[in-house]
Amino acid sequence: MRSIAQINEKIKKGKAVVVTAEEVIDIIKEKGYKETYEMVDVVTTGTFGPMCSSGVFINFGHSNPPIRMQSIMLNDVPAYGGLAAVDTYIGATEVSVKRGMEYGGGHVIEDLIAGKDIKLHALSNGTDCYPRKEILTTINKDNINQAYMYNPRNAYQNYPAATNSTNKTIYTYMGTLLPNYGNITYSTSGELSPLLNDPYMRTIGVGTRIFLGGGIGYVAWQGTQHKVDVERTANGVPIVNAATLAVIGDIKHMSTKYVRGAVFDRYGVTLFVGIGVPIPILDEDMLKFVSVKNSEIYTKLVDKSGNVNIDKKFNYAELRSGTVKFNGKNVHTAPLSSLYVARNIALTLKDWINKGSFELTDKVTDLPFESRVNSLEIREIK
């Protein structure tokens, strides 16, 4: 069995063998598990899709005279004012008060990463130590202090595919769904997806260094709605939404190639985020996990209208083919995530490790493997 410290020594010496999660499948097919384990040290993964539970903490610095910001707008998008005097958090899904869902928090974050000037308008009641009551200026990533992405829920470990049983088009966070099961959408990079390559999170935990938005980030905690007590296939892969990651990273080192604001028609604003996780090949069991193929990864189909409980699942080879057989007819399928960008992320992370600019980290602690997600109970208020 290898350790991460041993793998890092090989990285420092330029001797580590790094391949992507797609490449390792072909290597195993040619050489078998034993020979591949002796050869490969790290497998890189990648995903790029809509991750609504995302946002950025910003410290603006103090003006003269100073202000305690209570109502904050960035390019006319509300940001949170309930922190210290000049700190804020802008969420990806917040919408512009002037432009509606045409522009929102995700676009502000993208523009900030791009180096554009952002209009800051803040109001205050004024205090003895913070007498200013209004400020109107522009900020950018070079003249603010800290600006770090903290995303409470990213990189879902699988997610149900979506369809629509009603006789009208519906507009959802899974995209536009046509009437009478007219299409199916899904969101994953399949065999490249980080948590699908480490289904029991043996190597991924708090403190794991990752590729985040074009820069270096870390797993900060379990993501919200993290759950692991779910139905799985024999290879350990869940067939429904399961584990999630909370992640953190400095946006000043990110790129708009891997962080993009977007709009789901008639639904709202989101943020596409690129994440890549290196999987150290500690033993042959780990190699078996990272060699999972699209044809071996299944997901359930869900009716997003909520009317019908569908008892059907597809694997990602079927979904990626563009058409599946459902209810006696051929139904078109479409991804919400970008396989092209996910591949780019895995290859970029591979390049960083090969160049010695990215080393692996031991996790500080495990992500919980006993968890459940509660529903919100509607209770009578007395």
Q: Which pLDDT tens digits describe the chain residue by residue (382 residues)? A: 899 999 999 999 999 999 999 999 999 999 999 999 999 999 999 999 999 999 999 999 999 999 999 999 999 999 999 999 999 999 999 999 999 999 999 999 999 999 999 999 999 999 999 999 999 999 999 999 999 999 999 999 999 999 999 999 999 999 999 999 999 999 999 999 999 999 999 999 999 999 999 999 999 999 999 999 999 999 999 999 999 999 999 999 999 999 999 999 999 999 999 999 999 999 999 999 999 999 999 999 999 999 999 999 999 999 999 999 999 999 999 999 999 999 999 999 999 999 999 999 999 999 998 778 999 999 999 8
Q: Which residues pair with 57 in a beta bridge?
A: 89, 148
The confidence score (pLDDT) of residue 371 equals 74
The position carrying tokens 């209009």 is 119
Tokens coding 143: 């003249």
* Residue 3 three-state SS: coil
Q: Which residues fall within 8 angstroms of residue 378, CB to CB, at 6 or more apart?
A: none
**Catalytic annotation, pick one of 129, 234, 376, 381:** 129
- Model-level pTM greater than 0.95? yes
* Residue 128 three-state SS: coil
Tokens coding 298: 């299944």
Secondary element (H or E) of residue 333: strand 329-335
52 is catalytic: no
How many C-beta atoms surround the C-beta of residue 5 within 10 A? 10
The confidence score (pLDDT) of residue 372 equals 80
* Listed residue (3, 5, 15) closest to 359, CA to CA: 5
